[in-house]
Amino acid sequence: MSETYDLQKMRYDALIKIIQTMGGAALTGAVPTPTLELAKQLGISVADAWMCFDIYKTYFEKELTRQDLGRMLKTAGVIILGGGLAGYVGIRLAQALLNEILEEIPIANSIISGIAFGSSTLIIGMAWLAIVEQNFFLRSDNEI
């Protein structure tokens, strides 16, 4: 990691990644997919994970390793992140169920699903950005 960094540029790049992923999740969530809901959920979850890896790479200029993830979990609090992961899985399952229930009302289903998918991806991205940035500052302070 270089000694000089442009925090505003890193934040901007991370926010662009979050917005792009959020837009993709919203559009994907809005498309009706009878009987393929869990596959769509899995695809969006993979995109969310990819977004998190990209945000990490934006700040640290390297791939996220197990050791780095472990260090970040300690800093962020394993209990909070574990609860967040359980909540994430619960949200995705609830969205799949809601989408199946609303299949009969096409326009409402698309609008509600798109908003739900996009907003949950936005929340995940912003939470991960906060964790990454906190770790970035902790490492910067230790290197001085």
Q: Which residue has the higher pLDDT, 17 or 68?
A: 17
Going by C-alpha positions, the residue among 9, 25, 10 that lies closest to residue 135 is: 10
3-class DSSP state of 9: helix
Q: Is 35 left (phi over 0), alpha (psi -120 to 50) or beta?
A: left
Burial-class residue 57 by CB neighbours within 10 Å (0-12, 13-18, 19+): middle
Q: Which residue has the higher pLDDT, 86 or 6?
A: 6
Q: Is 4 left (phi over 0), alpha (psi -120 to 50) or beta?
A: beta
Q: For residues 46-57, give the mean pLDDT.
A: 92
73-95 confidence digits (pLDDT tens):
776 665 555 566 666 777 777 77
Average pLDDT across the chain, whole number: 81
112-122 confidence digits (pLDDT tens):
888 888 988 99
Rounded to whole angstroms, what are the CA distances from 100 to 30, 35, 118? 12, 8, 18
**pLDDT value for 110:** 84
- Angle among Cα 94, 46, 112 to the nearest 5 degrees reads 35
Going by C-alpha positions, the residue among 79, 56, 76, 50 that lies closest to residue 1 is: 56
Q: Which residue has the higher pLDDT, 41 or 57?
A: 57
**pLDDT value for 108:** 80
**pLDDT value for 144:** 46
This prediction's pTM: 0.77
